[in-house]
Amino acid sequence: MLYNPFQKFTFDNKTCFLSGQSLTSPEEQIQVFPSWLMQHYHLEDKPFKLLDESITTYKKLKVPCSVDTSNKLEAFEEEIRAAFLEGYRAVAKLDKQLLFQWIGKLLYGIVFNEIQIGISQQFMSGEAMNFSQVLAKKFTNLHVMLQSLIRPMEFENSLPFSINVFEIDTPEDTFNYRDEINTLVFSLRMKDFGIVACLQDNGANNRYHDAKLQLVAGKKLHPIQFEEICGLFFYSAYLFNRLPEYAIMPTEEAIYIDPMPLAGTDTRPIFDTFQVKTFGQVLENFWKPWGYTLFEIIKDPEHPMTFLTDQDGNFRQSDTIDLPNKYEN
């Protein structure tokens, strides 16, 4: 019932990326970044950097997709489009599993393109494809879960991801996208909302940042506050040292996925030790639009710079933050 492209390493343009169905025409494909999003932000010809440092464009990122699969995705994509273009209130009401499917489809589409490029480069060099077994396991799990888009699937006991939606006081034309493929972490800032997601952590990153999430719950954030939260999640996804396992039970009615306990037989903490300097380097990158340097961020290593709280530890209201630099679009 389930298709696994990693079993035979099937990443050609003759097989549907999601169902494994054989295609009859090279025209059977879909965009990785949906057309409505590219058109709204004029992304089609903007540069997109791949892992090997090569540059492509948003519109060149495509995946082979059967007509059957494409038809099943239409209503799903329309629901996402309508909510995203309306803004925060509509996005916050979306089912988290729906957001997971949309984000996962986007990230897996990028993974698919990265693998195709890797296969081509290996072929040209005459070497065999060398692919990390850990990453293959992660991407296989993600692909299994994405098949919930085309067949009945239920997640048992707990959801296998951390996804958060925030309201942001940001310019209407903002589009800021980030991902880290190896750790399956993602962030998006557009219109008046932001999303940060860890796609395969069984909710561990949300638990790790529970105090911060409680602090900002229901608050409108300044863009620099949202980018700080993104920095926290991207860094903790790097510190996360488990490879989640899932019990997958196909039945005639549906496929049931049950996340296994993260602790298992490993006695280590689930997250490696938080290093202030390394986190400062992450923040420096996320705060580039405002020009803060690593030296400024960790000038006091015991209390690194933050825009989430004031000196008394209370949430800092977004309208009290006045920065000279322009927002990043």
| pLDDT tens sequence across 220-263 | 999 999 999 999 999 999 999 999 999 999 888 999 999 999 98
| pLDDT of the residue at 270 | 95
Report whether pLDDT(146) > 90. yes
| pLDDT of the residue at 327 | 44
Q: Residue 148 carries which side chain, given as an amino acid letter?
A: S
Find the angle CA(151)-CA(156)-CA(161) to the nearest 5 degrees. 85
Residue 165 — pLDDT band, cuts 50, 70, 90?
very high
Report whether pLDDT(56) > 90. yes
Q: Token digits for 207?
A: 């638990």
Is 159 strand, coil or helix?
coil
Interatomic CA distance for residues 54 and 117, integer angstroms: 10
Report whether pLDDT(264) > 80. no
| Helix, strand, coil share of the chain (percent; to 5) | 40, 20, 40
| pLDDT of the residue at 289 | 93
Interatomic CA distance for residues 120 and 124, integer angstroms: 6
Report whether pLDDT(326) > 50. no
Q: Token digits for 278?
A: 């390394």
Long-range residue pairs from 19-28, CB within 8 A, at least 24 positions apart, any chain: 19/66, 19/68, 19/69, 19/147, 19/150, 21/66, 21/68, 21/69, 23/64, 23/66, 28/64, 28/65, 28/66, 28/67, 28/70
Report, as an integer, the average pLDDT of 42-61: 93
| pLDDT of the residue at 213 | 98
Report whether pLDDT(156) > 70. yes
Is 137 strand, coil or helix?
helix
Report, as an integer, the average pLDDT of 198-214: 97
**Residue in the block written with tokens 């690593």:** 294
Average pLDDT, the chain: 93
Interatomic CA distance for residues 107 and 181, integer angstroms: 7
Q: Which residues contact 127 (CB under 8 A, 6 or more apart)?
A: none
| pLDDT tens sequence across 64-91 | 999 999 999 999 999 999 999 999 999 9
Residue 325 — pLDDT band, cuts 50, 70, 90?
low
Global pTM value: 0.94
Residue 265 — pLDDT band, cuts 50, 70, 90?
low
Comparing C-alpha atoms, which of 63, 10, 11 is closest to residue 34? 63
Express as a percent the part of the chain with pLDDT over 90: 84
Q: Residue 284 carries which side chain, given as an amino acid letter?
A: E
| pLDDT of the residue at 324 | 66
Q: In which region does residue 126 sit, left (phi positive, over 0), alpha (psi from -120 to 50) or beta (all else)?
A: left
How far are the Cα atoms of 16, 67, 73, 163 from residue 24, in angstroms, in the given order? 10, 10, 19, 37
Report whether pLDDT(21) > 80. yes
| pLDDT of the residue at 120 | 84
Interatomic CA distance for residues 35 and 37, integer angstroms: 5
Residue 172 — pLDDT band, cuts 50, 70, 90?
confident
Residue 157 — pLDDT band, cuts 50, 70, 90?
confident
Q: Token digits for 322?
A: 């006045």
